[in-house]
Structure 1
Amino acid sequence: MKISANRVTCLTGESGAAQTSLLRLLNRMNEPDSGSVFYQDQLLDNLNPIEHRRKVTLLSQTPFTIPGTIEENLQLGLELTDKSNAEFVKALDTVLLQKSLSDDAEILSGGEKQRLALAR
């Protein structure tokens, strides 16, 4: 399978047809049992997983959040980037999550948790 650059690609299929498996392979969350996976003509095995995940992100239907505030959840993302806390509000605006940094992340709706994960 080859996915063209600078195009929107949609994966569809019945439940269990391996859409999530493919995305997990592309994000290096899983390793292939056989064959090879390339990203921009580079073998994924040769790429640093952390650096790669900064470019290729995966948002699950049930995003990960930790107990605590929205700010505490956003701070998790700082470990993988050179951004500062000052950019938290901008990140929330970008994903259209109109909440305070001090709000409890556990009481967010499913869609709001997805936006929080995107902002992170």
Structure 2
Amino acid sequence: MEKLITIENIVKKDSLGQPILNGISAKVMEGEFITIIGPSGSGKSTFLSLINRMTEPDSGLLRFKGTPYVEMDVLKLRRKIGMVFQLPTMLPGTVRDNLLIGLSPVPGNPEQCRNRRPIRPDCPPKINKRTGCPFPFGGQKQRISLARSLANRPEILLLDEVTASLDPTSTEEIEELIQRLHQNGTTILWVSHNLKQAKKVGEYTWVIAGGKIVEQGHPNEVFVNPKHVITQEFIATSFGKEPVT
């Protein structure tokens, strides 16, 4: 497997100079499905934002396939590393416009995509085929957001609490969709507050607490037999006396 992302001693501080992330080092290999858990405010969303380069570290280094982020064009990097948020933002225009925005070299401007190349009638169905959703999407905003992120065929997909506001049926559908994307070769990093979900869908689990990755391993190791006291306390608090099954 190829090493896609290398994270080297990353530090990110808040506006008061307090560390949000404090010396994180990790690597993401091609084809991995990593779920990321941890206490609220531990820096999980900030961590994803750094990988997508929506924010910059105060110190440390990130690399994509060995190339430092600072040497890469931001838009080109984001085409390789897509990101979907908890609350999807629908941009002005039609569903088709939202999908074309994902292909646009200028963020938020589907006209740039139209001017760059002809709109092929088969473009939306092809994008739709990757998401496994019927077309048109109607009010399924999260699926549109996923489709928009997939328009550039990213190698890595970052998910930040993408099912937190969904009902159980929609949550299960999104879980199945993401698992199919992974089976088709997409590398996934999924921040989830739902520990049962994180255990079920991921191949590996990282625990972020206090701005550091305090534990990582197979979900059965992390959830059933956690080694770090912070992980033990977090899982015990989240699940009470109920075992993680």
Measured against the shorter chain, the TM-score band is 0.7 to 0.9
Segments of structure 2 that go 5 or more residues without pairing to the other structure are 1-24, 106-112, 149-245
| Residue of structure 2 in register with 1:16 after alignment | 41
Is 1:100 the counterpart of 2:140? The answer is no
**What do the CA deviations read for 1:46-96 (whole angstroms, capped 9, x no partner)?**
111111111111111112212432112112123137784431122123213
| Aligned partner of residue 15 in structure 1, secondary structure | coil
Is 1:119 the counterpart of 2:147? The answer is yes
| Residue of structure 2 in register with 1:28 after alignment | 53
| Aligned partner of residue 100 in structure 1, secondary structure | coil
Q: 1:114 is matched by which residue type in structure 2? A: Q
| Aligned partner of residue 37 in structure 1, secondary structure | strand
| Residue of structure 1 in register with 2:26 after alignment | 2
Count of residue correspondences: 112
Q: 2:70 is matched by which residue type in structure 1? A: D
| Aligned partner of residue 114 in structure 1, secondary structure | helix
- Inter-partner Cα distance in structure 2 for 1:98 and 1:56: 25
RMSD: 2.2
- Inter-partner Cα distance in structure 1 for 2:124 and 2:135: 11
Greater helix fraction, Structure 1 or Structure 2: 1
- Inter-partner Cα distance in structure 2 for 1:43 and 1:26: 12
Q: C-alpha displacement at 1:100, in angstroms?
A: 2.2
Q: Identity over aligned residues, as a percent?
A: 29
Bigger CA radius of gyration: 2
- Inter-partner Cα distance in structure 2 for 1:54 and 1:118: 13
| Residue of structure 2 in register with 1:37 after alignment | 62
- Asked if structure 2 preserves the Cα contact closer than 8 Å seen for 1:75 and 1:85, the reply is no
| Aligned partner of residue 132 in structure 2, secondary structure | coil
- Asked if structure 1 preserves the Cα contact closer than 8 Å seen for 2:125 and 2:135, the reply is no
TM-score normalized by the length of structure 2: 0.41
- Inter-partner Cα distance in structure 1 for 2:93 and 2:73: 30
- Inter-partner Cα distance in structure 2 for 1:72 and 1:85: 13
Q: 2:134 is matched by which residue type in structure 1? A: Q
Given the superposition, is the C-alpha separation of residues 17 and 118 from structure 1 closer, same or farther in structure 2, using an over 3 Å criterion?
same
TM-score normalized by the length of structure 1: 0.79
Q: 1:96 is matched by which residue type in structure 2? A: G
Q: 1:64 is matched by which residue type in structure 2? A: T
Given the superposition, is the C-alpha separation of residues 85 and 115 from structure 1 closer, same or farther in structure 2, using an over 3 Å criterion?
farther
Q: C-alpha displacement at 1:99, in angstroms?
A: 3.2
Segments of structure 1 that go 5 or more residues without pairing to the other structure are none
